[in-house]
Structure 1
Amino acid sequence: MTTPVPAPPSSPRSALLVIDVQNDFMPGGRLAVTDGDAVVPLINRLGSLFTHIVVTQDWHPADHISFASQHEGRAPFSTITLPYGAQTLWPDHCVQASAGAALHADLDLPQTQLIIRKGCNRTIDSYSAFVEADRQTRTGLAGYLRERGIDTVYACGLALDFCVAWSALDARAAGFATAVIDDACRAIDLDGSCARAWQQMTEAGVQRLRSAALLG
């Protein structure tokens, strides 16, 4: 697949995809990402460049299959096999309507036109904003973007090596020009997962940008 050239942020063809900037992924949260709160001011600055913004939230039922607490004798960050493949087990996090599932209070993106809630199906995890972990169930985001004439996606947020990377890879697979703003992300980095994510994204044609290239 030929890698398309991204439209600039100011273009009506571009959207900023802000992934899971939620309390449970912040320091002190149930699934804290180191330094996760540091991305919030930068994402707010980046948001001012875009007409189109889409925000995602993990939004799990309390008995979600990806929670280690639902599997007797299993510890968080261990792996099990589900009908759709390998599944990392996580601490309970981003339970629907909980304080931990709320977006960070300082996130200020008034141009946001859509919030995608993912991981709502108890039996399927969902890292990507586009396709759930069974790789069959679609969120409708690709169609939403195309209906608005958007062909370029800039991604940022938490966590880089899981939800950001999966979303970026699926954006490319759907034919969107895709860039990840790396300093507007933070990673869990579970057993080298960050390096693997960057390798996969690079191979798929996802561009790696610094915010300064956009903010000037």
Structure 2
Amino acid sequence: MPPSSALPASAAPAPTLPCLPGDGDALVVVDVQNDFLPGGPLAVADGDRVVAPLNRYIHLFQQRGLPLVFTRDWHPANHCSFHAQGGPWPPHCVAGSPGAGFAPGLHVPANATLISKGAHAGIDAYSAFQGTGLGAYLQRLGCRRIFVGGLATDYCVLATVRDARQQGLAVVVLRDAIRAVAVQPEDGRRAEDEMLRLGAHPLTWDEVAP
């Protein structure tokens, strides 16, 4: 059949799924902390439901010997994002407090890399890359792509994906392992749409499991 310069829309090839984790990949688990779980001062609806799917991805990356990065908000008690300092949020994830601890049941391997962010009183930081050295760390490891899940879709996950793309990293968003704060009802959907517009690829465990 002679080559065609354009395929009709009905014959356009289906988009391919991103390949499974391998060399050059890292998993970044964003802020799955007690204060963001139901009952916490800055609760994400169903935030606890990211733990089980994240554990599956963590196990997969462990099996393959790939880098694991866990981020956490690690705020001073007078952080600029808190209401008392004129910020938008109630106090949360204060460094060393139980609320700043990782969610019960989340598997954090001993060899995982821990990234603390938002640790300066006068600087707000949503992205895992902001002021943490994460970009340079991933570069040293030879990482070209990150898989991202955690809390919350419309803030720290989105900001992390945005910065990763700006740094030239490919990004896979684990759609079954993210949840939104949704200050406005559509914030979560809008954040996912923006991540896709930035070039991130969506993935769920059903597409990974045999």
**What does 1:1-216 correspond to in 2, within 5 Å?**
8-9=20-21, 11-50=22-61, 51-71=66-86, 89-110=88-109, 112-131=111-130, 138-191=131-184, 192-216=186-210
Letter in 1 for 2:101: A
* TM-score, structure 1 normalization: 0.83
How far the C-alpha of 1:109 sits from its partner, in A, is 3.2
Listed one character per residue, the Cα deviations across residues 45-94 of structure 1 (whole Å, up to 9, x for unaligned) are: 111111211000000000111001223xxxxxxxxxxxxxxxx6101100
Deviation larger for 179-188 or 111-120: 111-120
Which stretches of structure 1, 4 residues or longer, exceed 6 Å deviation after superposition? none
The answer for unaligned runs of 5 or more in structure 2 is 1-16
How far the C-alpha of 1:197 sits from its partner, in A, is 1.2
How far the C-alpha of 1:163 sits from its partner, in A, is 0.5
How far the C-alpha of 1:7 sits from its partner, in A, is 5.5
Letter in 1 for 2:193: Q
SS at match of 1:97: coil
CA RMSD of aligned residues (A): 1.6
Letter in 2 for 1:22: Q
Q: Which residue of 2 aligns with 1:75?
A: none
SS at match of 2:78: coil
Cα distance in 2 for partners of 1:125, 1:109 equals 25
| Between structures 1 and 2, the one with greater strand share | 1
How far the C-alpha of 1:162 sits from its partner, in A, is 0.6
* TM-score, structure 2 normalization: 0.85
**Conserved? CA contact 1:57–1:117, under 8 Å:** yes
How far the C-alpha of 1:6 sits from its partner, in A, is 5.4
How far the C-alpha of 1:159 sits from its partner, in A, is 0.5
Residues 177, 7 of structure 1: CA spacing in aligned structure 2 closer, same or farther, 3 A cutoff?
farther
- The aligned length equals 189
Identity fraction in percent: 44
Letter in 1 for 2:27: L
The answer for unaligned runs of 5 or more in structure 1 is 72-87, 132-137
Cα distance in 2 for partners of 1:101, 1:199 equals 29
How far the C-alpha of 1:202 sits from its partner, in A, is 1.6
| Between structures 1 and 2, the one with greater helix share | 2
